[in-house]
Amino acid sequence: MLSIDRAALAAAVASLPERFKGPGGVVGVMKDGEVIVREAWGYADPDVGLPMTPSRLMPICSISKQMTCGVLLNLVGDPSALDERLTAFLPNLEGRRPTVRELCDNRSGLRDYWALTVLHGAHHEGAFRREDARPLFARMKTTHFEPGSQYSYSNGNFRILSDLLEERSGRSLADLYADHIFAPAGMRDARLASDTAGPLNGTVGHEGNASVGWFPATNRIVWTGDAGVAATLDDMLAWERFIDRTRNDADGLYGRLSTPSAFADGNPARYGMGLARDRIDDVAITGHGGALRGFRIRRLHAATERLSVVVMFNHEADAHAAAIFLMRAALGRPSAPRSGVPADQGWAGSYLEPSSGLSIDVTVHGNAILANLGGGTEVLSFGEDGVARSAGMTISRQGDGLWLDRPGDNLRGLAVRLDGDAAQDIAGRYWSAETESTLEIKAVGSAFAGRFDGLLGRGPMHQLRPFAGDVWRLSTPRGMDAPAPGDWTVQVRRTVDGAVGGLVIGCWLARNVPFSRIV
């Protein structure tokens, strides 16, 4: 069993405010069921000088998902008992309907509803009420992959699950959390705080950075099931203590939540029941992150070492990186320097992976390949075997294209190189039967922008930039959810005479949404 180097861990904790700059934060580390780190720094609200403490409530955002699944296991047991009820939530869905278990495992194939709010005309600082969710789900007609075949993060899976649980029990999700999660774990101040419009006992989330400064984030979303739980650091350490206390219980809740699962083809999955599975070297970890505009949260648990780390920021620094940094310090395994050999510049270019419909921008820096799939840049090291690797993806050359393998998503495919300049003829109006919304693209001089109009209103103009060939990128750097969808891939579909007949639009969370040209 691991022995903690307390001095090294203390030094790592002390470095966090400078490494991950922002108004404030809290961090906790638990070993063998005992709290060995419980620290806070900075301000919960710098405007009024309110200090951050371990007893300040913060939204734990998507960490709520594992707790929603915990209620499901305690209340219902076998998730399939609720499968038939999904018809009422997805009345227009064509093809095979996902199962409730596939919702819990993010293998439903349902496009993420927070990403789809962009296509439904939402403004990033608009309001999203609880009653707005169900009509949005009801409009879904297709999945972006066959349920069970791949992984794709979809908050809507857990939003639907929360309604199923309330319907089954006749009780509010707040009461179900209290009975099945908070009370057994001793989370004394935790609660369901679905409305994110106001601060929780004074804690204000902040956008911004050290260059431009920090400013209060605007949130006007009502969450339930996919997020919504608010907790203090002490509550989160109570959750970790509960996990450790029940580690040898054959029917322990966390043991049931963290049981390994597989895709429909038998390949092992890295996500299930609201928990992500990963490794730090040879140490298996489970955990999850949380992100709301102005907040970043991460919890990690290494069962074999009886070691847990919790990081909570009221700003948008990388809580995942901070949690990994602390876990490595506690394990005595500092990050190794990136290795590899210089990469051939021939890798650089613009590509499209046809099955997902996602564009990929590849650049080369020394022994690193930087691949941007529209939602952020992934850094891969180039090896002597001619393969570029990161923790989540490998890329190898295949002819003029790139073979991508993302085991965690169960996605493999040949990305084809795109050449040529985009034709400047995309201005017009487009209609999507999938979302029942319109897209109007306008040209102002040599610049293009598009606006969606749909269920949630008439959204702002989003900049469109030519990518390569007949592919563009539509940018949404700020969305209702955090992080925002980022860059959407826009593929132009042409008629036999070469005119623009329509578009196929997608991002990592919501792929291949067709739009037909109407004007």
Rounded Cα gap, residues 32 and 240, in angstroms: 10
Residue 254 has pLDDT above 80, yes or no: yes
Tell me the pLDDT tens digit for each residue of 99-155.
Answer: 999 999 999 999 999 999 999 999 999 999 999 999 999 999 999 999 999 999 999
CB atoms near residue 216 (< 10 Å): 18
Contacts of 93 (CB under 8 A, 6+ apart): 140, 141, 142, 143
Tell me the pLDDT tens digit for each residue of 257-307.
Answer: 999 999 999 999 999 999 999 999 999 999 999 999 999 999 999 999 999
Q: C-alpha distances in angstroms, 348 versus 60, 370, 413?
A: 39, 9, 18
Q: What is the pLDDT of residue 196?
A: 86
Mean pLDDT of 371-387: 84
Lowest mean pLDDT among 1-15, 271-285, 365-379: 365-379
**Of 140, 68, 77, 56, nearest in space to 510 by CA:** 140
Give the CATH fold of the 428-517 domain: Lipocalin (2.40.128)
Q: What is the pLDDT of residue 375?
A: 66
Q: Which of 3, 55, 64, 65 is catalytic?
A: 65
Residue 39 has pLDDT above 80, yes or no: yes
Residue 6 has pLDDT above 60, yes or no: yes
pLDDT > 90: what percent of the chain? 86
Q: What is the pLDDT of residue 374?
A: 65
Q: What is the pLDDT of residue 369?
A: 87
Q: What is the pLDDT of residue 509?
A: 95
Q: Higher model confidence: residue 46 or residue 337?
A: 46
Residue 24 has pLDDT above 70, yes or no: yes
Q: Which of 3, 21, 55, 62 is catalytic?
A: 62
pTM of the predicted structure, to 2 decimals? 0.96
- Is the Cβ–Cβ distance between 186 and 29 less than 8 Å? no
Q: What φ, ψ does residue 99 adopt, rounded to 5°?
A: -90, 165
Rounded Cα gap, residues 270 and 184, in angstroms: 27
Residue 504 has pLDDT above 70, yes or no: yes
Tell me the pLDDT tens digit for each residue of 73-111.
Answer: 999 999 999 999 999 999 999 999 999 999 999 999 999
Residue 3 has pLDDT above 90, yes or no: no
Q: What is the pLDDT of residue 383?
A: 85
Note if 62 is an active site residue. yes
Q: What is the pLDDT of residue 5?
A: 82
Tell me the pLDDT tens digit for each residue of 293-321.
Answer: 999 999 999 999 999 999 999 999 999 99
Q: Higher model confidence: residue 479 or residue 67?
A: 67
pLDDT > 70: what percent of the chain? 98
Residue 212 has pLDDT above 90, yes or no: yes
Residue corresponding to tokens 């050359």:
397
- What does the block give as tokens for 54? 């371990």
H or E segment and range at residue 167: helix 155-169
Q: What is the pLDDT of residue 337?
A: 67
The per-residue pLDDT of the chain, averaged, comes to 95
**Which sequence spans correspond to the domains of the chain?**
6-78+186-331, 345-417, 428-517
Mean pLDDT of 177-184: 98
Q: Count Cβ atoms within 10 A of the Cβ of residue 345 and give its class: 0-12 exposed, 13-18 middle, 19 or more buried.
A: exposed
Sheet holding 229-231, edge to edge: 58-59, 229-231, 191-192
Q: Does domain 6-78+186-331 have CATH number 3.40.710.10?
A: yes
Q: What is the pLDDT of residue 25?
A: 98
Cis status of the peptide bond prior to 483, with omega within 30 of 0: yes
Mean pLDDT of 452-476: 96
Give the CATH fold of the 345-417 domain: Lipocalin (2.40.128)
Q: What is the pLDDT of residue 500?
A: 97
Amino acid code (one letter) for 303:
A
Note if 31 is an active site residue. no
Domains 6-78+186-331 and 428-517 agree in fold: no
- Is the Cβ–Cβ distance between 329 and 8 less than 8 Å? yes
pLDDT classification of 334: cutoffs 50, 70, 90 = confident
Rounded Cα gap, residues 162 and 133, in angstroms: 12
Q: Higher model confidence: residue 145 or residue 366?
A: 145
Q: What is the pLDDT of residue 517?
A: 98
